[in-house]
A = this chain, B = another copy of it.
Amino acid sequence: MADIIHRVGVKAPVSKVYTALSTVEGVAGWWTKETSGSSKIGGTIEVRFHSPDRKEIGRMSMEVVALDPNKNVHWRVTAGPEEWVRTDVIFNLSQEGEYTIVLFGHKNWRAANEFMSHCSTKWATFLLSLKELVETGTGKPSPNDIKIDNWN
C-alpha cells in the first residue's frame, strides 16, 4: 500500500475550510465545477473532469464514510480509475494560530506507479486551490485547474 500525503495552511477559521470540504458546493469551488451528489454520511459525491476541448478525462464516485464537523472528512472511492477504487481520501483539520491546517491523505493505493505520481502533484494544486478559495473566494477548480503535465 502507498499513500499520497500533503499539508496546507489556510488563513481562515476551521469552519470555513470544513464547509468547503463537506458540501457539494464547496468541493465544486476548488476541485471540479462538475461536482454533484450527496455530501451526507453514506451519500455519494460524483466528480467529473473535462479537457478544454470538452473530452471527458476523468470521473470518480466517492462514498462519504465519515464527517466530524471542523475536524475530519473521509471519502472512499467506489468508482473511477481502477487505481482509485477502494482507496481513501481523508482531510484532517486543526487550528494553529490564524491558520487552519489541512492534513491530507489519499491512502491505500495498491502500487506507487506513474499515475499515482501524477495524482500526487495534482492533489497539491487542488489543495492550493482550496486554500485560495477559502482565503479569497475564488479557487481554481477544473476546468480552470493548473495543468501539470501531458495528462492534465
Q: Residues of A with Cβ closer than 8 Å to B?
A: 2-9, 96-97, 99, 101, 103-104, 112, 114, 116-118, 120-121, 124-125, 127-128, 131, 146, 148-151
Whether A116 contacts B5 in the complex (CB less than 8 A), given A124-B121, A128-B148, comes out as yes
Contact across chains for A103 and B112 when beta carbons are under 8 A apart: no
CA separation between A125 and B96, bound complex, in Å? 22
Contact across chains for B6 and A3 when beta carbons are under 8 A apart: no
Contact across chains for A103 and B114 when beta carbons are under 8 A apart: yes
Whether A127 contacts B120 in the complex (CB less than 8 A), given A96-B150, A149-B9, A150-B97, comes out as no
A116 contact set on B, CB distance < 8 A: 5
A120 contact set on B, CB distance < 8 A: 4-7, 120, 124
Contact of A5 among B117, B146, B150 (CB under 8 A): B117
With both chains docked as a complex, state the minimum distance between the C-beta of A71 and any C-beta of chain B, in angstroms: 16
CA separation between A96 and B150, bound complex, in Å? 8
A104 contact set on B, CB distance < 8 A: 117
| A3 closest partner in B (C-beta) | B112
With both chains docked as a complex, state the minimum distance between the C-beta of A98 and any C-beta of chain B, in angstroms: 8
A99 contact set on B, CB distance < 8 A: 149-150
Enumerate 30 A-B pairs (CB-CB under 8 Å) in ascending A order: A3-B112, A5-B116, A5-B117, A5-B120, A6-B117, A6-B120, A6-B121, A6-B124, A7-B114, A7-B118, A7-B120, A7-B121, A8-B148, A9-B148, A9-B149, A9-B150, A9-B151, A97-B150, A99-B150, A101-B149, A101-B150, A104-B117, A120-B120, A120-B124, A121-B124, A124-B124, A124-B125, A128-B146, A128-B148, A131-B148
